[in-house]
């Protein structure tokens, strides 16, 4: 029986539509459209959950701002997210994004990298427009947080890519959580909620508390995302067991590496040493089955629920005293929605 209020998808649809329309307005349409501007529009045009911009707008509204005041920031967040997806897909050698071939598979790596750069650059425009929208001081605070988020995300991505390059098999849970904090939680939850709070409070909100809330929610989200990857169906929009194919150090893989026998560990290590194109389905499915028999899938499920519980605690610390509203219920509802979503 689903626990998430239907409000969560409704709010994401509402704020997502406003953001998507805003993104569309910012997307340039001139030349060279075939090699550049058409590519910029591809990932935003494929849809997406719109969780990040919705968190930004909802938090801003909980703290007293209007949707319009938060819209430029929400648009920038979505543009940055899409830019990083393009680069991530190249770095991860991913083949499917939102149910369709990844951008670099369709257009080639050089043009895809350039399109990612273009989207990142485009995100500066709504951030600059924030000066007129929310005032210079708050706009500066948002720019500062954007810079921090960008550094944190790049550091997290470097950690994960480095583990894969060096074929690390001794990644601890603390290493994993630190990587997730930087790579996923900052752009996924921490930054959108901090920006929303900055706008709504006119710069007066204490932002540190959003790091705790965002980390726990973001980490629960990421672990659930990795779990979904193991049981994906066509609707999921990603390839089944894609994370194992890509050699991602997920919580399940690192736990499995700790629990399995030496012989099994050597076999996993040999598999991960191979280029992606030489990792065969049978071997990947063997790793997947081993994760099950080592209790790694169950372990990850328990950890994700524990982190979600901590997110709930942090939620009440931040939002407990604020007036009730649909936006407040939406943020609360996200914590259970993490486990009930199918994509």
Should residue 173 be labelled a site residue for another protein when binding is judged by CB under 8 A?
yes
Q: Work out whether 140 is an interface residue with another protein (CB under 8 A).
A: yes
Residue 35 to residue 40: CA distance in whole angstroms: 9
215, 221, 319, 337: residue in contact with another protein (rule CB under 8 A): 215
Shortest gap between Cβ of 239 and another protein (angstroms)? 28
Binding range to another protein, per CB under 8 A, among 94-102, 135-143, 233-241, 334-342:
135-143
Applying CB under 8 A, among 147, 233, 285, 340 the residue interacting with another protein is 147
* Binding range to another protein, per CB under 8 A, among 48-56, 174-182, 230-238, 280-288: 174-182
We find the least distance from the C-beta atom of residue 214 to another protein, in angstroms, to be 9
* Cα–Cα dist 204/28, whole Å: 35
Binding mask 266-305 for another protein (x = CB under 8 A): ---------------------------------x--xx-x
Please state the φ and ψ torsions of residue 47, each to the nearest 5 degrees.
Answer: 95, -140
Q: Which is nearer to another protein, 49 or 305 (CB)?
A: 305
- Segment contacting another protein (CB under 8 A): 45-53, 95-103, 211-219, 335-343? 211-219
**Should residue 67 be labelled a site residue for another protein when binding is judged by CB under 8 A?**
no
| Helix/strand/coil (H/E/C) assignment for every residue in the chain | CCCCCCHHHHHHHHHHHHHHHHHHHHCCCCCCHHHHHHHHHHHHHCCCCCHHHHHHHHHHHHCCCCHHHHHHHHHHHHHHHHHHHHHHHHHHCCCEECCEECHHHHHCHHHHHHHHHHHHHHCHHHHHHHHHHHCHHHHHHHHHHHHHHHHHHHHHHHHHHHHHHCCCCCCCHHHHHHHHHHHHHHHHHHHHHHHHHHHHCCCCCCCHHHHHHHHHHHHHHHHHHHHHHHCCCHHHCCCCCHHHHHCCCCHHHHHHHHHCCHHHHHHHHHHHHCCHHHCCHHHHHHHHHHHHHCCHHHHHHHHHHHHHHHHHHHHHHHHCCCCCCHHHHHHHHHHHHHHHCCC
Q: Which stretch binds another protein (CB under 8 A): 5-13, 88-96, 177-185, 261-269?
A: 177-185
Nearer to another protein, 274 or 302 (CB): 302
Which of 7, 128, 161, 228 binds another protein (CB under 8 A)? It is 128
Stretch that binds another protein, among 94-102, 131-139, 237-245, 320-328 (CB under 8 A): 131-139
According to CB under 8 A, which one of 165, 174, 277, 321 is a site residue for another protein? 174
Contact between 121 and another protein by CB under 8 A: the answer reads yes
Residue ranges binding another protein (CB under 8 A) = 25-26, 28, 36, 114, 117-118, 120-121, 124-125, 128-129, 131-132, 135-137, 139-140, 143-144, 147, 173-174, 177-178, 181, 208, 211-212, 215-216, 219, 299, 302-303, 305-307, 309-310
């Amino acid at each position: 029986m689903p626990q998430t209020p239907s409000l969560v998808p409704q709010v994401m649809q509402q704020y997502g539509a406003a953001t998507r329309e805003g993104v569309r307005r910012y997307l340039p349409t001139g030349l060279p459209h075939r090699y550049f501007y058409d590519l910029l529009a591809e990932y935003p045009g494929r849809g997406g959950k719109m969780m990040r911009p919705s968190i930004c707008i909802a938090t801003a509204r909980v703290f007293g701002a209007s949707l319009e005041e938060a819209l430029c920031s929400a648009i920038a967040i979505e543009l940055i997210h899409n830019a990083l997806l393009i680069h991530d897909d190249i770095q991860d050698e991913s083949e499917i994004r939102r149910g369709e071939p990844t951008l670099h598979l369709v257009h080639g790596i050089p043009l895809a990298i350039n399109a990612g750069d273009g989207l990142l650059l485009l995100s500066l425009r709504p951030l600059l427009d924030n000066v007129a929208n929310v005032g210079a001081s708050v706009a500066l605070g948002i720019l500062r947080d954007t810079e921090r988020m960008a550094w944190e995300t790049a550091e997290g991505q470097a950690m994960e890519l480095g583990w894969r390059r060096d074929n690390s098999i001794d990644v601890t849970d603390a290493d994993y959580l630190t990587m997730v904090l930087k790579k996923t939680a900052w752009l996924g939850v921490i930054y959108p909620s901090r920006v929303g709070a900055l706008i709504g409070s006119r710069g007066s909100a204490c932002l540190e508390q959003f790091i705790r809330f965002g980390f726990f929610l973001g980490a629960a989200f990421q672990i659930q995302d990795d779990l979904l990857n193991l049981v994906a169906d066509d609707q999921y929009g990603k390839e089944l067991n894609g994370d194992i194919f890509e050699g991602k150090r997920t919580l399940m893989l690192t736990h499995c590496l700790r629990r399995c026998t030496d012989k099994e560990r050597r076999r996993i290590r040999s598999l991960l040493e191979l280029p992606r194109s030489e990792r065969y389905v049978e071997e990947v499915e063997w790793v997947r089955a081993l994760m099950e028999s080592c209790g790694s899938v169950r372990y990850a499920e328990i950890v994700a629920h524990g982190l979600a519980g901590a997110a709930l605690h942090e939620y009440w610390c931040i939002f407990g005293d604020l007036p009730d509203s649909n936006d407040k219920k939406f943020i609360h509802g996200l914590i259970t929605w993490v486990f009930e979503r199918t994509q």
